[in-house]
Amino acid sequence: MSELAQLKKHKGSTHNTKALGRGRGSGKGGTSTKGGKGQKARKGTPIRRGFEGGQTPLIRRMPKVGFTNTAFRNEFEIVNLNQLQAFSGSVGPEELVKAGLVGKKSKIKVLGRGDAPKSLTVRAHKFSATAKDALEKAGGKVEVL
């Protein structure tokens, strides 16, 4: 095993760095590869994303459309009929929370994907038309909370 003091880099793995700003004869003098003048040629000038040099930025020129009322919107967690196959008797929000299908304080909407379980009473806040029909055809009941 070699010692740390004897380790050498592989040949060609490193390059000599070019000294910047050391006179015209060095090939990297004068503007020191920063081009000629201007905001970006100065040191320490972070230009924020989307800045267009004082012109009104594109994001502010685009029209704003619509309105989203986040304070009072109704969001429903979705449960499909095929997820209700494991239950029997009556199913409500409490049973769905225990099973981990929905969150504690969420409103529930039942959709009609899959086959409806036989004679199941389902309590939820909303039902799609296909889910309601499928549950009633299978001999179950639908209760809107």
Domain ranges of the chain: 76-144
Q: Backbone phi, then psi, for 122, in 5-degree steps?
A: -115, 125
Enter the tokens of residue 75. 């969001």
Residue 34: CB partners within 8 Å, gap ≥ 6?
A: 40, 41
pTM: 0.51
Cα 73 to Cα 76: distance, rounded to the nearest angstrom = 10
Which pLDDT does position 10 carry in this prediction? 92
Query: Is the separation of the CB atoms in 99 and 117 below 8 Å?
Result: no
Mean pLDDT by 10 residues, the chain (145 residues): 85 88 87 84 85 91 88 87 84 86 86 83 89 86 86
- The dotted CATH code for 76-144 is 3.100.10.10
